[in-house]
Amino acid sequence: MSRLLPRRRRPPAGSPASAASRCAPARDRPRWRPPPPRWTWTSWPWARSAEDGETDESGVAVDDRPVFRTEKIKGVLLHPYRVLIFVRLIAFTLFVIWRISHKNPDAMWLWVTSICGEFWFGFSWLLDQLPKLNPINRVPDLAVLRQRFDRPDGTSTLPGLDIFVTTADPIKEPILSTANSVLSILAADYPVDRNTCYVSDDSGMLLTYEALAESSKFATLWVPFCRKHGIEPRGPESYFELKSHPYMGRAQDEFVNDRRRVRKEYDEFKARINSLEHDIKQRNDGYNAANAHREGEPRPTWMADGTQWQGTWVDASENHRRGDHAGIVLVLLNHPSHRRQTGPPASADNPLDFSGVDVRLPMLVYVSREKRPGHDHQKKAGAMNALTRASALLSNSPFILNLDCDHYINNSQALRAGICFMVGRDSDTVAFVQFPQRFEGVDPTDLYANHNRIFFDGTLRALDGMQGPIYVGTGCLFRRITVYGFDPPRINVGGPCFPRLAGLFAKTKYEKPGLEMTMAKAKAAPVPAKGKHGFLPLPKKTYGKSDAFVDSIPRASHPSPYAAAAEGIVADEATIVEAVNVTAAAFEKKTGWGKEIGWVYDTVTEDVVTGYRMHIKGWRSRYCSIYPHAFIGTAPINLTERLFQVLRWSTGSLEIFFSKNNPLFGSTYLHPLQRVAYINITTYPFTAIFLIFYTTVPALSFVTGHFIVQRPTTMFYVYLGIVLSTLLVIAVLEVKWAGVTVFEWFRNGQFWMTASCSAYLAAVCQVLTKVIFRRDISFKLTSKLPSGDEKKDPYADLYVVRWTPLMITPIIIIFVNIIGSAVAFAKVLDGEWTHWLKVAGGVFFNFWVLFHLYPFAKGILGKHGKTPVVVLVWWAFTFVITAVLYINIPHMHSSGGKHTTVHGHHGKKFVDAGYYNWP
Ligand SMILES: O=c1ccn([C@@H]2O[C@H](COP(=O)(O)OP(=O)(O)O[C@H]3O[C@H](CO)[C@@H](O)[C@H](O)[C@H]3O)[C@@H](O)[C@H]2O)c(=O)[nH]1
Ligand SMILES: [Mn+2]
């Protein structure tokens, strides 16, 4: 794992609240008046509040300060930004009107199709731009959180938090990296007895389990060490990879000694993890040799304690192979005690002095759901739903954090930061808190826009100013009852999010506040009062046949596993048996899992649609971006892997469009601009169809002599000029408020074009095939395995060329454009075209296309592509050959010759596509 932390620019500070609050959603106004006392399903009566008369040192009632602030973007950026969007919209409309009223009788089909394309580019730009009209920054205030929830004696009233880690293959998803993620979770700064880590293993392999067992052993050293010295980050691999270790704790000398010691232990731990596969094999051979067996008899896999492993065996056999094995739930670390436990002082056995340090570890559970052949296990969504049920029985925390196995916690405060948005004032309609995805191991120039900063820091942050960011699959904190299909509390008559607007459309849907209660009463009655449907928003059978699970639902918004344990939920034998039962393959038959409740099924990307289903119920979401980054994962830096990943995402998006979850038909609880954002995210791959046209036809025009625009006028140039220049200025303003760089914007544009002519196009074809012929789409796991030699060059994988048909179209486009400009050049040399200045415009467009496909060209040239010169030489070579051929082959001259200009269509090109943010 190589570490690469791009320094994040500070997000622009907000302007004074008073001036800015005009456009903020009414409920987020920083100017705070005490709300009427009330209590709903989920608001947090367990926090200490002003009513208790508690004050901080300065005498301010603790409840009077919010746990997060909402800051507007500076007016100097925001106002011109909004105005320019408006100006561009008008210029674009005039442009299209001009185009429609100036036909091209030479080539009508060109004229019609190109206008369709331009219309689409403008439309998709608008879809992308409108939801960004109100970007905001939300800043969690950890100090206030601490004050309101942590007690001086070290205990805390923070809500319980279940963390789900999904793994699917201990080889393709290197087990050391998963172990690191788990260690970073165990070491995170959150009350230990309110924090449980669940690891789902879809491979069912002993290897994963034993790696976790090793991790839990190493954690007894690592976690207290982190606490003692305030270590950051708390994933050991990334910590020891740091060049310098700035010291945060109290004892410098001790620290140096302790670190040396822990480092040595970590190296040994790593060695053990790396030899696990071999050890397990050897152990099996030992046992199996002793039980002399005949040929063809099953050879079980043995656990360290001499019992047979229930899951996948190394030598696969009936009932014990991948996709065909029993369910397994194993508690690696049990519920910790509720009281602080300090460690022993230094001694010969334990050289680290933990006498002042809490040595408790959070609960850790291994879950491998049952797998049976012929059963659709629904990949990650199925795993998440199984974990949701199993965790309900074991800890039933009101909040769930979802992390992919390659994402570790990079900032020990991340969990607390996320919780700020869940327990703050007016947070009870928040369904989930999405963190941005950050990656390490990406090449410094980010050739394939892996960081995706425009999408995270721009689009998601802006959506936070609407109804909330979309769910992107990992690094997301959920409210458990939302997963269970509950509606948000409808307190404000007129709607949870946008009282006036939503009220207009949905008057009948809202109930008068019926759940109001005073804080004192709420505290006396910690179990929610009955709603319209009794405790459950849906019939009991929707949740499946497990009384224990259904009984846990009313307590799903209970503050903590601590309290849950007090009510009899502990990891005893019977509970474990029930947990295995609820993860059974057949459990979900004839239930609502994957439909009304839980992560949504039957799609290649469960994330966007799962979040969407919550938003249409009127739930909101929040975006939580902190520095140092909360979580860091790995990204596929190989071109082929990257294209396949984007193919999967774009296919998933289109699938939503062609399903009953099409955002056009979503309920009126969806904020209008949120709906626009969802339409954007489910239609963007269609751009491929038009972009293919625009990247080839203008170049071919040089050969055929027919152009999209016949005779441009001055007004045409004026409109075009405005459309082009505003795009650039808007982009500059946008990167400024998003806190990213113009370079990242260009990279984003480059990858947008690459993906459009490869993955998006394939996605459109694939989904149309599915819709028309009902053929299913299958997908493979994104490999996190470096295929190059990582030691020598951490980015070796970047240039490993793995051929895929996805690469055909971009290659064709590259050649068409080179040939196009070469022919134009030849025609000018030949004297066939005398308006060489106009020709230059067209050639400029060709180069514009080539500029965008440059990273792609570099990628497919593999190792040689490392020197950019090679790419240029190839281009020059093709160019010259074509030009020479053209001039020397007489019959090719015949077709051209019309002195039409080439400016128009070239100018138009894809500038209106708005540089999609979502590769
Ligand atoms: O049968 C499966 C398949 C996958 N996974 C897990 O799902 C996660 C995501 O899979 P991956 O192949 O890494 O996909 P990515 O393209 O890297 O993932 C992005 O896109 C997915 C949606 O397609 C989201 O679910 C992810 O959170 C998001 O990071 C990983 O933790 C896997 O272990 C399972 O648990 N079971
Ligand atoms: Mn991933």
β-bridge mates for residue 430, sequence order: 620
CA of 159 to the centre of ligand 1 (A): 27
pLDDT at 153 over 90: no
Residue 455 lies in a domain: no
Q: How far is the CA of 781 from the centre of ligand 1 (A)?
A: 7
Ligand 1 pocket, CB under 6 A: 166-168, 173, 200, 202, 379-380, 383, 404-405, 473-474, 605, 607, 645, 648, 652, 781-782
Q: Atom 19 of ligand 1 has which residue's CA nearest to it?
A: 473
The ipTM assigned to this model is 0.98
Whose atoms come closest to the Cα of 607: which ligand?
1
Alpha helices in 830-892 (DSSP H): 836-860, 868-888
Quick check: 493 pLDDT over 80?
A: no
624 in any annotated domain = no
Say if residue 550 is in the same domain as residue 692: no
Say whether 912 is catalytic. no
Task: Tell me if 511 is assigned to a ligand binding site.
Answer: no
Of the residues 585, 610, 642, the one at which a domain ends: 585
Q: Is residue 21 part of a domain?
A: no
Take atom 1 of ligand 1 and give the residue whose Cα is closest: 379
> Are 247 and 383 found together in one domain?
yes
Q: How far apart are the first and last CA of the chain?
A: 24
Q: What is the pLDDT of residue 351?
A: 82
Instruction: Say what the pLDDT of residue 865 is.
Output: 61
Whose Cα sits closest to atom 17 in ligand 1?
782
- Which of 286-300, 512-526, 865-879 is predicted least confidently? 512-526
pLDDT at 861: 83
Q: Where are the alpha helices (DSSP H) in 53-141?
A: 75-101, 108-129
Tell me if 580 is assigned to some domain.
Answer: yes
Q: How far is the CA of 307 from the centre of ligand 1 (A)?
A: 32
The domain tally of the chain equals 2
Residues 899 and 819 in one domain: yes
Across the chain, what does the average pLDDT equal?
81
Is residue 9 included in any domain, yes or no? Answer: no
Show which of 566, 585, 604 is a domain's final residue. 585
Query: What secondary structure does DSSP assign to 679-711, as a single string?
Result: HHHHHGGGHHHHHHHHHHHHHHHHHH---S-SS
In a domain, 862, yes or no: yes
Q: Which residue range is the domain that position 84 belongs to?
A: 76-133+662-913
Of these ranges, 281-285, 289-293, 711-715, 836-840, the one predicted with the greatest mean pLDDT is 281-285
Residues 109 and 182 in one domain: no
Asked about 202 being catalytic, the answer comes back as yes
Annotated binding-site residue? 173 = yes
217 and 129, same structural domain?
no
Q: Tell whether 431 and 552 lie within a shared domain.
A: yes
CB-based contacts of 636: which residues, under 8 Å, 6+ apart?
A: 450, 642, 644, 645, 782, 783, 784
Centre of ligand 2 from the C-alpha of residue 98, in Å: 46
Helix (H) or strand (E) holding 623: strand 620-623
What is the position in ligand 1's atom list of the atom closest to the CA of 783? 12
Element (H, E) at 138: strand 136-140
Ligand approaching nearest to the C-alpha of 178:
1
Of all ligands present, the nearest one to the C-alpha of 166 is 1
Name the CA dihedral angle for 436, 439, 444, 450, rounded to a multiple of 10 degrees: -70
Look at residue 23 and tell me if it is in a domain.
no
Residues 151 and 125 grouped into a single domain: no
Same-domain check for residues 802 and 828: yes
**Which three-class secondary structure state does DSSP give residue 403?**
strand
Average pLDDT over residues 189-203: 95
Residue 804 confidence class, pLDDT cut points 50, 70, 90? confident
- At residue 55, the pLDDT reads 52
For residue 609, report the distance from its CA to the centre of ligand 1, in Å. 15
State what percent of residues in the chain have pLDDT above 90: 54
- Tell whether the model's pLDDT for residue 554 goes beyond 60: yes
| Verdict on whether the full-model pTM lies above 0.90 | no
Task: Looking at the CA of residue 173, tell me the nearest atom of ligand 1.
Answer: 33
Whether residue 675 is predicted with pLDDT greater than 90 in this model: the reply is yes
Q: Do residue 96 and residue 235 come from a single domain?
A: no
The residue from 169, 189, 464, 607 that is catalytic is 607
The Cα-based distances of 786 to 106, 240, 389 in angstroms read 54, 20, 34
- How confident is the model at residue 694, as a pLDDT? 87
Are 220 and 93 in a shared domain? no
318 within domain boundaries: yes
Instruction: Report the alpha-carbon distance of residue 157 to residue 730 in Å, rounded.
Output: 46
Nearest-CA residue for ligand 1 atom 28 is 473
Same domain, 549 and 670: no
Q: Which atom of ligand 1 is nearest to the CA of 474?
A: 27
Pair (100, 198) in one structural domain: no
pLDDT at 671: 92
Report the percent of the chain where pLDDT is more than 70. Answer: 78
- Residue 278's pLDDT is 95
Lowest mean pLDDT among 220-229, 324-333, 403-412, 491-500: 491-500
Listed residues 541, 569, 585: the one ending a domain: 585
Q: Tell me: the pLDDT tens digits for 406-423?
A: 999 999 999 999 999 998
Residue of 728 and 918 predicted with greater confidence: 728
Phi, psi dihedral angles at 321 (to 5 degrees) = -130, 165
- Taking residues 209-238, what's their average pLDDT? 95
Instruction: State yes or no: pLDDT of 542 exceeds 60.
Output: yes
